Amino acid sequence: MGHHRVVRDSPLAAYVFTPLGTDKQSVLNVILKEGGELLKKHDLFDEFTKKMADGVSKTSYAYHLVFQSFKKTLTDLEINEIMDRITEAVNREPGWRVR
C-alpha cells in the first residue's frame, strides 16, 4: 500500500522578504536544509520587488513546497514542525522575514 503525499503551501514558510539583491538560491538553500528528506519538491512560483513603508526595497520569493514520506502518511503536526523550522531559519538570516 502506498502513502499519499501531503502538499502544504503555507504563507508562513513559503513567502520570504529579503534585502534587495539576495539570490533566490540562497533562500532555497535554507528551505532545503530545514525541509530535510521529507521535502520532495519545491517550485518558485512568484518573485517581485517592493518598496517597503520605510523606503527600503525588498525582494519577495514564494515557494510551493511538497512534503512526502514513502514510509507513512505524514501528520499535520509533522509538517507544521518542519514549516516552523523553515520559518525560524529564514527569520534568523539578516534582513529576511517570512510574510
Identify the CATH number of the domain in which residue 47 sits.
Answer: 3.30.70.380
Q: Is residue 54 part of a domain?
A: yes
Q: Is residue 44 part of a domain?
A: yes
Cell of 55: 523606503
What is the domain extent for residue 57? 6-98
Cell of 87: 520559518
The secondary structure of residue 86, as a DSSP letter, is H
Q: Is residue 34 part of a domain?
A: yes
Beta-carbon contacts of residue 31 (< 8 Å; ≥ 6 apart)? 13, 39, 42, 63, 65, 86, 90
Tell me how many domains the chain contains. Answer: 1
pLDDT tens series, the chain, 99 aa: 566 666 554 434 578 999 999 999 999 999 999 999 999 889 999 999 999 999 999 999 999 998 888 888 888 899 899 999 999 999 999 999 998
Q: Is residue 49 part of a domain?
A: yes
Q: Is residue 37 part of a domain?
A: yes
Q: Is residue 14 part of a domain?
A: yes
Burial of 51 (0-12, 13-18, 19+ CB in 10 A): exposed
Q: Is residue 1 part of a domain?
A: no
